[in-house]
Amino acid sequence: MPSFDTGVPHPARVYDYWLGGKDNFAADRQVAEDILRVMPVMAQIARGCRLFLSAVVHHLAADLGIRQFLDIGTGLPTADNTHELAQRAAPDARIVYVDNDPIVLAHSRALLRSNRRGHCAYIDADARDVGKVLAGAAQTLDFGQPVAVIMLGLLHFIPDAGDPYSLPGAYLDALVPGSYLALSHASSDIEEAGQSEATRTYNAHTAIPISLRSREEFARFFRGLDLVPPGIVPLGQWAPGETRASPQTLPTYTALARKP
């Protein structure tokens, strides 16, 4: 197992705790509980992001004919990982996972249990190292065919100074028309007070701070792409072709878009 500092909270392990997982440590649990005290819906947001992943991957594989997936910032393995969702609809689907948390690397075997007709690979890399990720992904994926790029809960960990808005485009530029981009991102203009307090709590205890963004800022990630209906909607309200009714508005934006 690779070495890592268990005393420093990491987003993948904090998220794992909110999902009820066991691959987290005291520092991760402390931050997770501190955030839950000021924003109790965080566990619901974590579960909602997994449901969005399920809905969007199934739609891509079953309805849109996508057979290749590049899941960047995948986090720790849990139920219904991208390869399981995709290969359930399309057994020949090929999936490449990307993450840079050593504990995710240690558990990467769980992400490589592909259907015999498909294939899975894992790249240990920072999402911002686009060249390394694309070079590694090219060993599994055919960039002459459409690819779905998935970045759920990733871009809010990149501050404006790190130019997050160029990152999705850097990946999509290497892909053919008909490729897709799926994103989720913590919002700054839904449940503003609770989000701000939770963000301050989280950022005070972690080396990887969060930057909240508005709906308008979230839309910038999709410049040059065609949003798939229902477009940009809050977490829990996305469904293929329509906005799903929801009893509450969770402070995270979601969307799927196609490269024309």
Distance from C-alpha of 198 to C-alpha of 110, rounded to nearest angstrom: 31
Give the per-residue pLDDT at 1: 44
Coil, helix or strand for 173?
coil
CA-based nearest residue to 72, from 179, 169, 155, 160: 155
Give the per-residue pLDDT at 114: 83
Coil, helix or strand for 51?
helix
* Residues 6 or more apart in contact with residue 38 via CB below 8 angstroms: 194, 197, 198, 201
Please tell me the pTM assigned to this model. Answer: 0.89
Give the per-residue pLDDT at 23: 79
Integer distance in angstroms from the first to the last C-alpha of the chain? 42
Directed axis angle between helix 42-58 and helix 26-38, to 10°? 100
* Residues 6 or more apart in contact with residue 123 via CB below 8 angstroms: 96, 97, 98, 132, 133, 136, 137
Q: Are 213 and 188 in contact (CB under 8 A)?
A: yes
Burial of residue 15 (CB within 10 Å: 0-12, 13-18, 19+) is buried
Its CATH architecture, for the domain 11-239+248-258, is 3-Layer(aba) Sandwich (3.40)
Q: What DSSP element (H or E) covers 235?
A: strand 233-235
Give the per-residue pLDDT at 9: 79
From the centroid of its chain, how far is CA 237?
17
Q: Between vectors from CA 127 to CA 166 and to CA 196, what angle results, nearest 5°?
A: 75
**Tens-level pLDDT at each residue, the chain (260 residues):** 445 677 777 777 888 888 888 878 898 898 889 888 877 888 888 899 999 999 999 999 999 999 999 999 988 777 789 999 999 999 999 999 999 877 788 777 777 788 788 999 999 999 999 999 999 999 999 999 999 999 999 999 999 999 999 999 999 999 999 999 999 999 999 876 667 777 787 777 666 788 999 999 999 999 999 999 999 999 999 999 888 877 678 899 999 999 99
* Residues 6 or more apart in contact with residue 6 via CB below 8 angstroms: 25, 26, 27
